[in-house]
Structure 1
Amino acid sequence: MQQLLTIVINGITNGMIYAAFALALVLIWRSTRIVNFAQAPMAMITTYVALTVIDAGYSYWIGFGVALLSGLLLGALVERLIIRYVDSASHINPVILTLGLFIVIHAVAALVFGNQFRSFPAPFGLDGQRIGSVDVALTGNDVYTVVAVLVVLAALVALFRFTDLGLTMRASAFSQEVSRLLGVRVGRMLTLGWALAAAVGSVAGLLIAGGSLVHPGYMDSVVVFGFVAAVLGGLDSPVGAVVGGLLMGVGLSAVSGYVGQDLVSFAALVILIVVLLLRPNGLFAAASARRV
């Protein structure tokens, strides 16, 4: 019973971390129709910015705010200076470019911040709880992670479902020419999409780093698990991203606890293959228009 409870709690907290990264992928997909594989190193850069602020003597929350602002700026600059000048007629071109950015940003981070491991503080406690005779591996920082992801989810759902801005961003992503004819400033919408996605990615980077060690590659594994979570839930669904992250977290935690840590990556690959075979658009994909 104790082992099962620990596996479930670890699965939920890890799943929420995967969900945070998946939400960033969903946001960039919904607003630009691009899968940004450079999302992780971009988030890593903003995490280092937050760590620099914290090491200078400021509080975690000031570092958090600076990281979000840095994410907004970094996302906007990447779209304005790089992505915009790539031929988007073929959707594969921007994706290949983001893979190149993945490598370049890693190299730049290693040069600027170094390759050594550095401790990142947690805003809340890292001690588990004891309820009666049962030790519960749920920390204050874990609760903070869950709440933060749910707040981001609510914000994204509200943005795309209840605001004209969200509708305009989606219209710009689906059909730029028609949107321009309707008076939409497509360039600004695409820049805003990249900026907001980078800010959400910054939240993911900070949640992953809290109470652990960071280095230029500390988010690399999350790229795989977060991407699988986004595909599992559906790249077009914020709710699906969170559900996919939770399913991934609990499933991989069970594999790690009952089978072995060495098979976690293999299990993620199996999940991805099964989803692509049985439901390629994801569990929460919207119904597509029928073509004749």
Structure 2
Amino acid sequence: MIVTLGLLLVLQAVAGMIWTAEPRSFPYAFDFRGAFSPAALFTVLVVVAAAAAILLLFKATPLGLRMRAAAFRPEVAALVGVRVGRMLTIGWTLAAAVGALAGLLAAPPFIHPTVMDTVFVYALTAAVIGGLDNPVGTVIGGFLLGVVLSLVSGYLGAELVTLAALAILVVVLSVRPDGLFGQRVARRV
């Protein structure tokens, strides 16, 4: 994770040097009027479709079975003929594609190199709250974080929301480093 954060900072700095750090705007693809706009409906449908496709991939295809085997028991998977390196590469590619999709759906109508930093803080906090090894816990952690941050925004002000997310992250890591729904793994030396 630390290497990823460092790489993020380097890439943001390089992007700022190449294209400037000035925000550039672009129009929304859909109208944002109403309580539940077409853009919000589109986002929800794309997220549900992507989640269903990933679930089907991992639960109902031979490729998904090989990817799970390579992730959880690489030695055993290699013994039965699974190319572990290839499965890990496919997994990282899939993660990059889903991350890019999430970035497209969450981006505001202006863009600059550091535009997604707050989204990154919220996503990391939700994942830590739920447990980094528990996808369902991460979703629950995201809902809990969303409720708490809405309360912070309503009662204390919107300018404290990111600070509150970071404070929650520090508290959860201090009290329960594996997250609320994560499983403690004993490590052998």
In 1: Cα distance, 2:181 partner to 2:26 partner: 35
Aligned counterpart for 2:124 among listed residues 227, 231, 234: 227
How many residues get paired? 187
Match in the other structure for 2:56: 158
Q: What pairs up with 1:144-155 in 2 under 5 angstroms?
A: 144-155=42-53
- Is residue 22 of structure 2 the alignment partner of residue 124 of structure 1? no
For residue 259 of structure 1, what is the aligned residue in structure 2?
156
From 7, 10, 14, the equivalent of 1:108 is 14
Residues 234 and 282 of structure 1 are in contact (CA less than 8 Å); yes or no, is this contact kept in structure 2? yes
Which structure 2 segments of 5+ residues have no match? Answer: none
Residue 228 of structure 1 contacts residue 268 of structure 1 at CA under 8 Å; is this kept in 2? yes
Higher relative contact order by CA 8 Å / sep ≥ 6: 1 or 2? 1
Q: TM-score, normalized by length of structure 2?
A: 0.82
- Within 5 Å, give how 1:1-292 maps onto structure 2: 95-127=1-33, 129=34, 136=35, 138-210=36-108, 212-276=109-173, 279-285=176-182
1:218-269 CA-partner distances (Å, limit 9, x unpaired): 0111111100111222323333333322222232122111211232123213
SS in 2 for 1:123: coil
The answer to whether the Cα contact below 8 Å between 2:25 and 2:110 also exists between their aligned partners in 1 is yes
Could you tell me how far 1:284 is from its partner in structure 2?
Answer: 4.2
Change (3 A) 1:278 1:288: same
Q: CA RMSD in A?
A: 2.6
Give percent identity, aligned residues only: 54
Q: For residues 204 and 280 of structure 1, do their structure 2 counterparts lie closer, same or farther at Cα, with a shift above 3 Å needed?
A: same
Shift of 1:214: 0.7
Measured against aligned partners, the alpha-carbon deviations of 1:98-129 in whole angstroms (never above 9, x if no partner) come to: 233212221332234332211133222112x2
